[in-house]
Structures are given as C-alpha cells and as structure tokens.
C-alpha cells in the first residue's frame, strides 16, 4: 500500500509547514456493521479503539493547497478491540491521511479526514482453528478511513475533538474468505496544535482541471473458494475521457474490457468454455477528486458483455491515481460488485 497522503505534500517540490504541527489522541467506541448475514454471528460486542496521530500543514505553495484551505497531511496509529477475542481478536493499523478543513473558524474546526494504510489482524480464517471467521482470510489487509472531526479550543493550544467515522478492512479477495469489515465509530479526544493552524485560508485560485483522453491497463490477483486454492490473474484495459468541472473535480466516461482467470476457472467447472467467454466489457461513469498530481477515483459501470452474470450487471472501481508529468499515470485500486470485492488493481496509463 502506497503511503499516499504524505506524498500529496511531498510531490512536485511541495513542502510542509513544520511550525503548524498537530498532535492528537482520540478514543473511539463503535461496532462492526454486519453487512452480510454471515457477519452477524461474529459481532459479539462493541469495539473500543485508540488513535494517535501527528500531522503537518501544507505550505500553500501549490494551487491545490489554497483551493482546499491549506489542509494537513499526517500519519496515524490505530488499535481496535474488535469485540470478539476468540474469532476476530484486535486490529493494529498504520494510516497516512489528508485532513481537509470544512468551513472552519478561529473558535471551531470542522474537518474531514481521508486515509489509507495497512492493518494487521490478530485473528483470521483458519479451516481448523477459526473456521467461522468468514470476514478476513489474511493477517495483512488494506485499510481505509473516513472521519468527520469537530474541534473546539480549551486554551490557546489544546483543543477538544469529537467525531464520527467509518473504517474499512479488506484484502480485495487476494485471499479468501474476504467479506471485509466495516466499523462505525464515535470519537472523543484531545489535540495539541500550533495557534496558527486555527486559520484555514480558502481561495478560488486555480484553473479548472484539463479535459483529456487516457488509455490505461491494470492487473490484480485473487482467489476462488474454497480457501487455500491457487491465485488467479485479473486484468483490465480501458479508454477514458475526463472532463474538468472545477479546480478540484473531474467527471469521467470510460469503456472497460476485463479478463479474469478466476472467472474462467469457475465457468469451466460447469461447461466447456473458451477463454473468450470469460471476457467482460462495460461502460462506466465516474468522478475524480484532485490533489495536485494525485486523484481519488470513484466509478460505477454497467456490463454490456458478461457471460458469467453471477455478480450482476453493475460493477464499481475505486482507487488512487498519481500523475508523473503531463502524460504518464499510475493507479492503485479495487474492483467490486457492491460490497463484494473481486480483485485489487495495480496499473498505469497514458494521457493525451
């Protein structure tokens, strides 16, 4: 997993204002959302957690810093008791994130934190010792956090923070089972921050994102049931047009071609089929949120050709894109069907 948000400030010569430092401690309390029937038996109790973070303000040298009100980027360590010590144990995660100010004032801060990282889970599926844990099949997984924070000053530098958030763990079907885990939490904690950080500085400065065509390809690996089987290669090729609607945002239209050896293996169990039958194609629309050379991507597509059909006609792609210069891009993401991950995607592309 790329430590993405720290790179937001470090890329293209960006720098951090080390004088505007925030250090914080948050105590969370929440629960695992049983998004599948199999998850209900795993949810035995609530999930307390602790978070420790340090973050630094972007310098303001780049247009995107000003457009987002000179946000903060940081790192956070998180420890969660998953409420079921026998089957789920605890999670130990390290994130990098960006903290975006939302209509903040000198006497109140409203922020949105978006982060990605890696999580170690002390308990995972084991056919002999933990056969009922269908949530996670691997000890190391990807993690994503979304958190809203509201902070008020207790004195010149110490602030009281409250918040709500969602945390997601998954290995993108690299190792089954992989229903994934979603945790909803409320937070209470303290943050020490430099007094200058009370003043987010928004501006409309910045040009609208450029329109353009992109060709891209991506690859991933996943497993089929039953657990312990071989890994299968998955691939994607796409043609995409992006239309800039603001300095922050792009809307996208895309044509996709997918091939998965895992699907071919499943189809071959029922009948004699050629590999061409495992090809899928679709059209998608999407949205991109830009942070300089980085972009968060969300796309929803409709299969036009799909002989497999078991996953429905809708697919989704989520991920992060990094541009190098005007043309070359890299991509890290995941392909899903609603709440079911199919495979991760690691790829590259060329913009025209």
Contact 190, 160 (CB under 8 A): yes
306 in the same domain as 178: no
Same domain, 148 and 254: no
Same domain, 227 and 115: no
- Is 230 found in the same domain as 183? no
Number of domains present in the structure of the chain: 2
> % helix / strand / coil in the chain, to the nearest 5?
10, 60, 30
**Can you give the pTM of this predicted structure?**
0.88
Task: Select from 219, 283, 279 the least CA-distant residue to 255.
Answer: 283
| Domain presence at residue 205 | no
**Is the separation of the CB atoms in 210 and 227 below 8 Å?**
no
List the domain range (segments joined by +) for residue 79.
4-198
Structure token digits, residue 87: 């089957």
Whose tokens are 């796309």? That residue is 299
pLDDT in the model for residue 10: 47
Return the pLDDT at 80.
97
**Which residues touch 39 (CB under 8 Å, ≥6 apart)?**
32, 33, 134, 135, 179
Give me the CATH number covering residue 74.
2.40.160.20
| Eight-state DSSP code of residue 210 | P
* Cα distance between residue 230 and residue 251, in whole Å: 38
- The secondary structure element, H or E, covering residue 21 is strand 16-32
**C-alpha–C-alpha distance, residues 338 and 312, integer Å:** 9
- Tens place of pLDDT for every residue, the chain, 352 residues? 444 444 544 454 445 555 588 999 999 999 999 988 888 899 999 999 999 999 998 887 888 888 888 889 999 999 999 999 999 999 999 999 999 998 766 678 899 999 999 999 999 999 889 998 989 999 999 999 999 999 999 988 899 999 999 999 999 989 999 888 999 999 999 999 876 655 556 665 678 899 999 999 999 999 988 888 899 999 999 999 999 999 999 999 999 999 999 999 988 877 778 899 999 999 999 999 999 899 999 999 999 999 988 899 999 999 999 999 999 999 999 999 987 889 999 999 999 9
Domain boundary among 198, 225, 249: 198
In this structure, is residue 36 part of a structural domain? Answer: yes
> For position 67, what pLDDT does the model report?
87
HSE at residue 88, side-chain half, CA atoms within 13 A, is 25
Do 302 and 264 fall into the same domain? yes
- The reply to whether 310 falls in a domain is yes
- Report the C-alpha dihedral over residues 50, 198, 107, 24, rounded to 10 degrees: 10
Predicted confidence at residue 125, as pLDDT, reads 93
Residue 244 half-sphere exposure, CB side, CA atoms within 13 Å? 13
The domain boundary residue, chosen from 142, 175, 198: 198
User: Is 227 exposed, middle or buried, given 0-12, 13-18 or 19+ CB atoms closer than 10 A?
Assistant: middle
Q: How far apart are CA 69 and CA 64, in angstroms?
A: 8
Residue 98's nearest CA partner among 64, 66, 73 is 73
User: 170, 198, 226: which is the final residue of a domain?
Assistant: 198
d(CA 345, CA 298): 13
Q: Give me the pLDDT at residue 225, please.
A: 84
């Amino acid at each position: 997993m790329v430590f993405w948000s720290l790179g937001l400030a470090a890329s293209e010569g960006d720098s951090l204002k080390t004088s505007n430092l925030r250090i914080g401690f948050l105590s969370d309390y929440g629960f695992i959302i049983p998004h599948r029937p199999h998850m209900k038996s795993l949810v035995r109790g609530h999930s307390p957690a602790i978070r420790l973070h340090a973050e630094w303000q972007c310098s303001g040298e780049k247009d995107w810093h000003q457009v987002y009100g000179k946000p903060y980027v940081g790192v956070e360590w998180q420890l969660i008791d998953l409420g079921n010590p026998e089957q789920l144990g605890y999670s130990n995660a390290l994130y990098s994130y960006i903290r975006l100010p939302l209509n903040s004032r000198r006497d109140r801060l409203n922020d949105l934190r978006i982060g990605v990282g890696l999580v170690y889970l002390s308990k995972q599926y084991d056919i002999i010792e933990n056969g009922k844990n269908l949530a996670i099949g691997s000890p190391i997984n990807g993690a994503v956090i979304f958190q809203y924070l509201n902070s008020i000053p207790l004195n010149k530098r110490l602030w009281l923070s409250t918040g709500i958030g969602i945390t997601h763990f998954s290995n993108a079907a690299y190792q089954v089972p992989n229903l994934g885990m979603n945790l909803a939490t409320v937070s209470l904690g303290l943050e020490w921050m430099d007094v200058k950080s009370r003043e987010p500085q928004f501006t409309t400065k910045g040009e609208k994102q450029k329109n353009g065509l992109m060709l891209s390809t991506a690859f991933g690996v996943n497993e089929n049931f039953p657990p312990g089987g071989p890994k299968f290669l998955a691939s994607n090729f796409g043609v995409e047009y992006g239309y800039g609607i603001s300095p922050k945002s792009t809307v996208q239209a895309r044509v996709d071609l997918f091939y998965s050896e895992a699907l071919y293996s499943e189809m071959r169990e029922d009948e004699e089929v050629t590999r061409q039958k495992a090809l899928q194609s679709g059209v998608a629309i999407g949205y991109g949120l830009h942070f300089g050379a980085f972009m968060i991507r969300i796309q929803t597509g409709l299969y036009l050709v799909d002989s497999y059909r078991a996953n429905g006609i809708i697919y989704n792609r989520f991920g992060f894109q990094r541009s190098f210069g005007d043309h070359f891009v890299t991509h890290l993401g995941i392909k899903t069907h609603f709440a079911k991950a199919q495979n991760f995607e690691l790829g590259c592309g060329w913009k025209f």
